[in-house]
Structure 1
Amino acid sequence: MSRLDELIQKLCPNGVEYKELGSISNISKGVQFNKTDMSDEGTHPVINGGINPSGYSERYNCSEDTITISQGGASAGYVNFITTKFWVGAHCYTIKPQQKVLNRYLYHVIKSKEYKLKECQHGAGIPALAKNKVESLKIPVPPLEVQREIVRILDSFTELTAELTAELTAELTARKKQYEFYRNELLSFGEIIKGGSTQSSKLCEIALIYDGTHKTPNYKNSGIPFISVENINDIYGSKKFISKEDYDLYKITPQINDLFMTRIGSVGKCAIVTKNVDLAYYVSLALIRPNNKIIDTGYLKYYIESVSGTKELSKRTLHNAVPIKINKEDIGKIKITYPSLDIQKKIASTLDNFEKICSDLNIGLPAEIEARQKQYEYYRDALLTYAATGKIIPRQTDRQTDRQTDRQTDRQV
């Protein structure tokens, strides 16, 4: 029998009492902090309505080890535990427990009910979370000894999860750097040329270059998929559409082996057109149509994304523009160095294989990180349910578990 089992049987034979969060803690909202007074670096984070700090300041208005809940914005309801002194902004609640409730215990419980808080968002424009919704959140309050044991178990599990996540993240970063190094080395040609020669041309001499529509799209619920810079990693996954009539006004439509390149906000990320499907595209993307008798599309993609291509783009990018951009005419001025077509295809094939390995890791490692986080969440919720009811409730989903527990709670409160 575990220590927690012993404590629950001894101290909670009939379950535990549920109380509203507002009755066991002080809930307050922060003070507005002007964006102009923040900096990108500083001693104390400014915590407002988002998941990450809004900025940093040398001032603070809240002590360390404080529970926060985002009050406004898309992340309204997000629960965090701030371990340093910080400035709490006007779009953030702080939760400070009263007697008989441990700070870390309360954090774990509220975090387990984060999705409930997010479901309480209101407002047609910028979402917000009303204070009364936070105050009415029902919290199981077992004896302090039980709370301490739960905190010990969950904090230990959290530490292990964080260590593993850090290791997996470092592995993913290393693999990405390895791929970038290999790509850049290969595109410096070296041994793969084996005595052959290379030549350089302006991109406009070996490809046609177009940009997308400059008009704000009239979006539809269905029709022709519409893509912009945000879709460059998955050009066939857009959820935005325009009508066939609007698409028919496009003078240049994508063809297989064309290359999309980002040119506004982010410059130089590429995607190859591999399907014979209609795609509408915005001005933030350039459409490059290589002369495939001279330059291989796959090779061109890798070259543009390499150190050499990035330097060429950077020379002509308007870095002071907001957002940064490169004009369509200047894209055509970048110099592309290339070997024979056969060697281009060999290089592209080699990098395709290497990128596939990295992509598999890019899928596998983040999936492993997410699985570890879900494992922690499952264990946390099961543990808190057990502490509150004395039973392990079989859980299909978080919501089903909470609804079962809440029905029991309603009968007790």
Structure 2
Amino acid sequence: MSRIYDLIAELCPNGVEFKSVGEVTARSSNIKWANAGDDEFQYIDLSSVDRVTRRIGETASITAGNAPSRAQQIVHTGDVIFATTRPAQMRWAVIPAEYDGQIASTGYCVLRPDTSVILTNFLAHILGADTFRQYIEANQVAGNYPSIPDNRVRAYRIPVPPLEVQREIVRVLDQFTQLEAELEAELEAELEARRRQYEHYRGTLMLESEDSERVLLGDIAIIGTGSHDTKDAQADGEYTFYARGREPLKLDTFDFNEEAIITAGDGVGVGKVFHFARGKYALHQRAYRIVPQEGVDARFIYHYLVADFSRYLERTSVHASVTSLRRPMFLNYALQLPSLDEQRRIVAILDNFDALVNDLSLGLPAELAARRKQYEYYRDKLFTFEEAAA
């Protein structure tokens, strides 16, 4: 990085100019759906951007006839988008060429860099820096879903060194991210192999256990729903609040204090996404709690449902897709239940596998986390500039 320091000493020895994000970027334009006709667009919603890789993943195809009300902003290649809903998650991305002219949710602040003043990737790296995170946390508006207004994002002041300095900083940081991407691809391949191995053992252990009794879930567990709505969520709540999404929310009150398996009654991941609750928690009115009775290991039932429940729904739904779950679907679900000692033996094996695959403090994911910390250290160091006197 000595080249960077040499350039700074040569081109800006007395510090660099700081400007607001709004001064170095333009705003996006909104689509006029009335004139869109039958044109089809890819919709970048708040779940489309991966928080770790910053890549745009799943998007929905939309037209004027089915466009969500938040699908408004036209984005172009090189735009930098930052999620203003739950901004502390630091979800941002640079729009690649294949999404030029597509539509982004109004839940993003769309920043169009003036590349005669600031490089796209220089701005993108800045939006990941710890100083910006601190600014976001200090300026977000509290609510069920914390947010930060666009104008506060645009008011954030950033260093704007000469373009030669920016290019060298971007070159160094892009090398880090390229190495990270290569490592990530290697680790993801290994993790995927581990996950497949895990799923194989889980299916074998759970579904082919000898000396097991065939029982109905309704005969060995209490099954019910909660009473809360998503609007009840509190950003700084003390207790976990299981709603219908993949990620739990927070609430200041709890409904239950137990070990239970939780799943959504409708929404994304119906019959596929399960949580394991231990202790005090709150529950949505359209989420289910499954509480095994004494003599049944709750973790065993959790692993069994993860392994088999979606297949059960496929078998029982004939050709119709299952968009919501009803209590009888759980009550009538049949499973093989071995002895309690065998349940515990199986759970110990699967929990160890689960930790190896998913726990960031163990195994392969820790290596990737260490590489990211290294990148973050150098990124924050490189964006520390002395401000030039006015």
**TM-score, normalised relative to structure 2:** 0.69
Conserved? CA contact 2:224–2:289, under 8 Å: yes
Superposition pairs of residues 42-57 of structure 1, within 5 angstroms: 45-47=42-44, 52=49, 55-56=60-61
Conserved? CA contact 2:245–2:264, under 8 Å: no
Cα offset for 1:179?
A: 1.0
In the superposition, relative to structure 1, how do residues 336 and 375 fare at CA in structure 2: closer, same or farther (>3 Å)? same
CA distance in 1, matches of 2:371, 2:234: 39
In the superposition, relative to structure 1, how do residues 61 and 230 fare at CA in structure 2: closer, same or farther (>3 Å)? closer
1:285 paired with 2:288, answer yes
CA distance in 2, matches of 1:186, 1:66: 49
1:203 paired with 2:211, answer no
Q: Aligned with 2:261: secondary structure?
A: strand
Superposition pairs of residues 39-118 of structure 1, within 5 angstroms: 45-47=42-44, 52=49, 55-56=60-61, 62-70=75-83, 72-75=84-87, 79-84=92-97, 85-87=100-102, 89=104, 91=106, 92-112=109-129, 114-115=132-133, 116=135
% identical equivalent positions: 27
Conserved? CA contact 1:226–1:282, under 8 Å: no
In the superposition, relative to structure 1, how do residues 201 and 30 fare at CA in structure 2: closer, same or farther (>3 Å)? same
Superposition pairs of residues 352-391 of structure 1, within 5 angstroms: 352-360=351-359, 365-385=364-384, 388-389=385-386
CA distance in 1, matches of 2:154, 2:262: 49
Cα offset for 1:382?
A: 1.0
Alignment deviations for residues 369-402 of structure 1 (CA, whole Å, 9 cap, x no partner): 34433322221121132xx33xxxxxxxxxxxxx
Unmatched segments (≥5 aa) in structure 2? 50-55, 65-72
Conserved? CA contact 1:261–1:286, under 8 Å: yes
Cα offset for 1:119?
A: 4.3
Superposition pairs of residues 13-412 of structure 1, within 5 angstroms: 13-23=13-23, 25-32=24-31, 45-47=42-44, 52=49, 55-56=60-61, 62-70=75-83, 72-75=84-87, 79-84=92-97, 85-87=100-102, 89=104, 91=106, 92-112=109-129, 114-115=132-133, 116=135, 119-121=138-140, 127-131=147-151, 133-189=152-208, 193=210, 197-205=211-219, 207-214=220-227, 228=242, 239-242=251-254, 259-262=260-263, 264-265=265-266, 266-267=270-271, 281=283, 283=285, 284-290=287-293, 292=295, 297-307=298-308, 309-316=309-316, 324-325=324-325, 327-339=326-338, 343-360=342-359, 365-385=364-384, 388-389=385-386, 408=387, 412=389
Q: Aligned with 1:140: secondary structure?
A: strand
RMSD: 4.6
Cα offset for 1:117?
A: 5.3
Conserved? CA contact 1:224–1:279, under 8 Å: no
In the superposition, relative to structure 1, how do residues 181 and 97 fare at CA in structure 2: closer, same or farther (>3 Å)? same
**How many residues were matched structurally?**
357
- Could you tell me which amino acid in structure 2 is paired with residue 141 of structure 1? V
- Could you tell me which amino acid in structure 1 is paired with residue 125 of structure 2? H
In the superposition, relative to structure 1, how do residues 5 and 58 fare at CA in structure 2: closer, same or farther (>3 Å)? farther
Cα offset for 1:104?
A: 3.1
Conserved? CA contact 2:44–2:103, under 8 Å: yes
Cα offset for 1:351?
A: 3.1
Cα offset for 1:181?
A: 0.8
- Could you tell me which amino acid in structure 2 is paired with residue 200 of structure 1? R
Cα offset for 1:254?
A: 6.5
Alignment deviations for residues 57-115 of structure 1 (CA, whole Å, 9 cap, x no partner): 69995542233345x53349854321212335473433231535434334434543643
CA distance in 1, matches of 2:22, 2:381: 24
Q: Aligned with 1:86: secondary structure?
A: coil
Conserved? CA contact 1:261–1:285, under 8 Å: yes
CA distance in 2, matches of 1:302, 1:47: 33
Q: Aligned with 1:209: secondary structure?
A: strand
Cα offset for 1:161?
A: 1.9
Alignment deviations for residues 237-269 of structure 1 (CA, whole Å, 9 cap, x no partner): 964415xxxx6xxxxx766xx643425134366
Who wins on radius of gyration, i.e. which is larger? 1
- Could you tell me which amino acid in structure 1 is paired with residue 271 of structure 2? V
Unmatched segments (≥5 aa) in structure 1? 248-252, 390-407
**TM-score, normalised relative to structure 1:** 0.66
